[in-house]
A and B are shown apart, each in its own frame.
Chain A
Amino acid sequence: MFKVVAIVAGLGLALAGSVEAQTPRKGGTIRMTAPYGSSFTSLDIHTTQRAQDEIYAKALHRSLYIWDSAEGKPVPELAREAVVSGGGLVYTFKLRDDAYFHNGRKMTADDVIWSYNRIMDGAKAYPGARYVRVIEGAAAVEKGQAKEISGLKKIDDFTIEMKLTEKVDPGFYFFTALTSIYPADEAAKESFIQKPIGLGPFKFVEHVPGSRIVLERWDRFYKPGKPYADKVIVSVMGEAAARDVAFRNKEIDTSVLGPAQYVAYQSDADLKGTIVEVAEVFTRYMGMNTSFKPFADKRVRQAINYAIDTDLIINKLVKGKAYRATSWLPLTSPLYDKTMKPYPFDPAKAKQLLADAGYPNGFEFEWTTSQNESWGLPIVTAVIPMLDKVGIKAKVKQVETAVLAEVVRTGDYQAFIYSQQTGPDPQAALKCFHSATPQSACNYMNFKNADFDKLMDAAGQADDVAKRGQLLQKANALLYDEAPVWFFNYNKAVMAVQPWLKGVQLNATELTHQSVEDLWVDETSPAK
């Protein structure tokens, strides 16, 4: 499925295709960029959920699983294999016995258990807790009711048993850097935050805060012959225009492109071939608060979907750097239903639905937004006149992104516009709409629907993967009809890649997160 989508999406496939035809070159320096802010948050990757930080963490750390971009699913990494028992709730992991931390010590089961217990320290609110919580007894540690996760047992130095609270694929829970395995003895020291030690293909050399992180090849990395490069430099470059100059000047090997640059690069013969793009697992939407009377009526929510010319906004304002959303699950989700069609632009139907719902003259609501160029104020400003044409008046309330995060979790809004991770695990993405999911978790619209709950519960109990998939697709279709949100778009991530950098993966979870051991530079790279 992912491959099909990548063909549709990927101008970068030509680049990917050429990779396979060449023999990777050893040596050289890979110069990546971190485009999402003016610094890295922390060298302790357990403490930060920013995409920015995982860019370097993919080189420095490793987790039980890793995302396989080609297959579009998580695959075992530090775990060699998993044996499932206990009705799909118990996983016995055989760990690698050839994984060495950057201080030369071999990883054992104790490190895995120590790391997960650390992540569940509720007083620290590590963001990875949302994943580790799926292990039985983890929530008790988080709440301070237990010292250790009861569902995690060491069988021997390289075997652990993990008891889950529900039938899920643990791969989706333990592949991000938020659940990286730390060396138990070293990570407890104060010095760890200054000089982190991991299991990744590159070891830490230097961090210049606000500027760069430098890493060098770890010779004892467990994948034979990898990594290829000698060194990785990740430069913090939050300004798109500065990245553009640096990329054209061949000072960096990768640069994330925004909508305006996407258009410019496409129309530049020299740069067009550098573009790599993929549909990321993020859905952009306007969430509607069902406790606000008009939005309690499904017809009103549907009317909003009919009233907005979404294609026009994607083409003109987002410059085509997005895929039209047809429901909640994104294009690269394994359960994306390509037979589903988006709500058509039909103001007349919108008016009719509003009249049927008792709002023939429309109504007024407050729309909370951040300034984000792809899913914030510019979009809201473009939508307001469209809603106005069917009688709906929207007042803008602008807040910072940090404030918006709080607003959506507390329900202190009538409507908001947001970008939410809706993958790669379709079950976890849809579970956000289950009535048992608190608003503070991810049920931001406080959605409650008995039929939806039944479908999700049945999917959670299903042992048959195909049946589970069918149930989840039904739940996704139900969401489309219930329209708790205006289904805006799925993000199209676009990155420019220099021709000498090979092995770039079309990672749908976040394009900038590259398995660096698979990257290599040919002899034309200006970096030595």
Chain B
Amino acid sequence: MLSFLIRRLLQTIPTVLAVVLLVFVLFSVVPGSIVSTMSDDSDPQVELRMKKQLGLDQPVYMRFGAYVARLATGDLGASFRTREPVTTMIAKRAWPTLQLIFASMAFAVLLGVPLGFIAALRPGSLVDTVSMVLAVSGLSLAKFWLGLLLMYLFALKLGWLPSFGYGDGGLKYLILPAVTLGVSPMALLARTTRAAVLEIMTADFVRTARSKGMSETRVVKWHVMRNALVLILTTMGLQFGALMGQAVVVEKLFSWPGIGSLLVDSVLQRDIPAVQGSILVVVLFFLAINLLIDVLYGVIDPRIRYA
């Protein structure tokens, strides 16, 4: 297990380096620079000084080398725009982002997985049809539109929840953005669970269990559920990454203080250190979640070995 973890951690290094390189090169070639967004009216001589100060007068490979060297010490650099350390900027937004992502995933799992199970246990029934129509709708809904709809219903019409903001970080502020973000993975999990359960229900080992006189409840609990969980976990792992990306829209809509909105603003203002730092954190989060899921595979299904 330990050697597996070490090996997986080592495998993340080339992934992280590839991402860092890609982002660095991309933002070196796209038009527009921080210097042009700082002021409408500045002297070209001053612009040169500023570029020198920010290190933008150096060739790309030298800048990249310096960046990687700093990165190795855990230094993400300072924002071009605010002069704040990027780590500080990200730290301020990390907790709200985690709150949103995990709340969305909790909503998706708690609703999507049972829905998929129920649908699979009664294939072709009204429950199955309604569940899958809901699932397909959930996948098709644009987050922006859904968010507005939820705001309109639960804030404006019913007055149950605030329509925007972070407030004190409490649950009532979290519900609408989390549901908006969580509907799509919920729908995907429902469909995935249904497909997995349907397939497992016809597997030989399930037939054997039934023929041995095991009750249907025990069959589902001990055989179907455990085997379906592997696929559900895989889907969850992939969806965590997707949620990080989709959170941008939801954060902006609900004025939620996450990393997504920091990333978007930094891209628009060509604040390269902030962009690199934000993307790096998203990638690391995605890799960590998927590593955790790999570990969980073995817990759920002991046949999966880490060797």
Contacts and interface: CB of A to CB of B under 8 A. Distances in A.
Range for the number of chain A residues in contact with chain B: 35 or more
Interface in B1-51: 31-33, 35-47, 49-50
A195 B38 CA distance: 22
B299 interface: no
Contact of A129 (B46, B159, B270): B46
B41 A44 contact: no
Interface stretch (A207-215, A339-347, A469-477): A207-215
Contacts of B147: 242
A143 interface: yes
A211 B155 contact: no
B269 interface: yes
A521 to B, nearest CB: 18
Contacts of A37: 265, 268
Interface string B134-162: 00000000001001100110011001001
A356 interface: no
B163 A242 contact: yes
Interface string B253-274: 1111110011011001110000
Given A211-B165, A438-B44, A125 B89 contact: no
Output the residue of A49, A130, A440 with the most chain B CB within 10 A. Answer: A440
A144 interface: yes
B93 interface: yes
Given A38-B252, A129-B42, A245-B152, A400 B163 contact: no
B217 interface: no
A406 interface: yes
B64 interface: no
Interface string A290-306: 00000000000000000
Contacts of A122: 43, 45-46, 49-50
A1 to B, nearest CB: 26
A297 B81 CA distance: 41
Nearest to A127: B39
Contacts of B47: 125, 440
B251 interface: yes
Contacts of A249: 155-156, 159, 163
A442 B147 CA distance: 41
Output the residue of A208, A235, A238, A406 with the most chain B CB within 10 A. Answer: A208
B199 interface: no
Nearest to B33: A406
Nearest to B265: A39
A38 B264 contact: yes
A239 B52 CA distance: 36
Contact of A125 (B31, B35, B163, B251): B35
Interface in B210-263: 251-258, 261-262
A235 B46 contact: no
> What is the interface of chain A mostly: helix, strand, loop, or mixed?
loop
B156 A124 contact: no
A39 B32 contact: no
A48 interface: yes
A402 interface: yes
Nearest to A48: B81
B93 A124 contact: no
20 contacts: A37-B265, A37-B268, A41-B81, A47-B81, A122-B45, A125-B38, A125-B42, A126-B39, A127-B38, A127-B42, A193-B83, A241-B148, A245-B148, A245-B155, A251-B163, A251-B165, A402-B37, A406-B32, A409-B40, A440-B44
B255 A237 contact: yes
B165 A193 contact: no
Contacts of B254: 242
Nearest to A142: B46
Nearest to B147: A242
B32 A402 contact: yes
Given A38-B261, A47-B82, A245 B40 contact: no
Interface of B: 31-33, 35-47, 49-50, 52-53, 81-84, 89, 92-93, 96, 144, 147-148, 151-152, 155-156, 159, 162-166, 251-258, 261-262, 264-265, 268-270
B269 A208 contact: no
A239 B248 CA distance: 12
A505 B199 CA distance: 67
Interface in A101-147: 122-127, 129-130, 139, 142-144
A381 interface: no
Given A142-B46, A210-B262, A441 B41 contact: yes
A405 interface: yes
A400 B268 contact: yes
Given A144-B49, A193-B84, A406-B32, 11 more contacts: A42-B82, A125-B39, A125-B49, A139-B43, A193-B82, A211-B255, A239-B253, A246-B155, A401-B268, A438-B44, A440-B47
Output the residue of B251, B265, B268 with the most chain A CB within 10 A. Answer: B265
Contacts of B265: 37-39, 41
Contacts of A403: 31-32
A355 interface: no
A129 B46 CA distance: 10
Contact of B257 (A43, A193, A208, A402): A208
Contacts of B53: 123-124
A49 B36 CA distance: 12
A125 B36 contact: no
The 3 A-B residue pairs whose C-beta atoms are closest, nearest first, are A406-B36, A210-B257, A38-B261
Interface string A23-57: 00000000000000111011110011100000000
Contacts of B41: 130, 440-442
Nearest to A212: B165
Contacts of A377: none
B33 to A, nearest CB: 7
A294 B37 CA distance: 30
A408 to B, nearest CB: 9
A467 interface: no
Contact of B270 (A39, A402, A440): A402
Given A124-B53, A235-B165, A406-B32, A42 B81 contact: yes
A441 B45 CA distance: 12
A401 B269 CA distance: 9
Contacts of B268: 37, 400-402
B159 to A, nearest CB: 8
Given A123-B49, A400-B268, A409 B164 contact: no
Contacts of B165: 211-212, 235, 251
Contact of B39 (A42, A129, A402, A421): A129
A211 B166 contact: yes
A248 B156 contact: yes
A94 to B, nearest CB: 30
Contacts of A235: 164-165, 255
